[in-house]
Amino acid sequence: MLKRIFLTITWVSLILIALTTAGMAEPPVSVQIEPNLVSIGAMYNGAEVVATGEIPSDAQVIVIVTGDREDTVLSEKGKAFGLLWMNTGEVTLHGAPTVYMLYLSETDSPEASGNAHWRDFGVGFESLRKQIAIKSSNGKADLDFDEFLKLKQKEGLYAIHKEALTYGKEEGAVRTFSCRMFIPPRMHQGTYEVTAIVIKDGKLLKKDTKQLKIRRAGFTKFMTRLALNHGTLYGVMACLVALMAGLFMGLVFKGGKGAH
């Protein structure tokens, strides 16, 4: 009887030790966003959001901001009869994210030879190229993606921001990180994902994703609702705003009238 009780206690102790060890082995990965809600007002010209968190001291972290995936249709330009530039076809990119912004520390780069494995984790433009299905009349998918990438980069919606992420001091097996993210004005109202990808020894350790919301507020929100629900009234209001702006500009530059 005593032997059986002893064996039971031993087994329970071993199970508890195993569970405790497994819990300790779980990587301490977390990310917080401040603020997690950006308001678009009349004077909105972008915003800054800070992502902070903690990771194992011997790991690295990459922060990615992505928008919803959708189909994007672009026009192909070419010379007709070798004379006039005009639309010669269409390119459809299936599943292209509306936003793709990558934030790295100063020592990291997706192009570095030692970081080629990042593509397997969905990091970088080359990885994104493989995720987007392109239907084109010219049959040059790579060239079409490059042009699409240039367009998105010009809008500020696709970008790789180096030196945007910094690491804090190590405290035991953990270190903190801070990532400053600029939200460009072209990021419209919607819900976006901010994902911290933690990599250790060339392997994906963990991902932690939080939501970033962008919402219209104040006069901008009012005018948007007006345009959607009361088109006629919106037109009248738009005319009044334009008229007021014209009168204001006339008053500002009134003193310059007749000067030569």
Highest mean pLDDT of the ranges 42-56, 80-94, 233-247: 42-56
% of the chain beyond a pLDDT of 90: 30
| The token pair that represents 1 in the structure block | 């009887």
Strand arrangement, sheet containing 158-161: 37-40, 203-216, 190-200, 60-66, 100-103, 158-161
For 103-140, the pLDDT digits (tens) are: 998 877 776 666 777 888 888 898 999 999 988 877 77
Please count the other Cβ atoms lying within 10 Å of the Cβ belonging to residue 94.
13
Report the range of poorest mean pLDDT among 67-76, 165-174, 211-220.
Answer: 211-220
pLDDT, average across residues 80-86: 59
pLDDT at 24: 46
For 17-44, the pLDDT digits (tens) are: 444 444 445 556 778 888 888 888 777 8
pLDDT at 79: 60
pLDDT reading at 69 higher than 70 = yes
pLDDT reading at 16 higher than 70 = no
Residue ranges per domain, the chain? Answer: 25-216, 220-251
For 178-229, the pLDDT digits (tens) are: 999 998 988 888 999 999 999 988 888 888 999 999 988 755 545 455 555 5
pLDDT reading at 175 higher than 60 = yes
pLDDT at 171: 85
On the 0-12 / 13-18 / 19+ scale of CB atoms within 10 A, 6 is exposed
Q: Are 28 and 174 in contact (CB under 8 A)?
A: yes
Q: Which residue has the higher pLDDT, 221 or 3?
A: 3
% of the chain beyond a pLDDT of 70: 67
pLDDT reading at 84 higher than 70 = no
pTM: 0.70
Report the range of poorest mean pLDDT among 108-117, 169-178, 229-238.
Answer: 229-238
Q: Are 118 and 177 in contact (CB under 8 A)?
A: no
pLDDT at 210: 92
CATH (residue range 25-216): 2.60.40.10
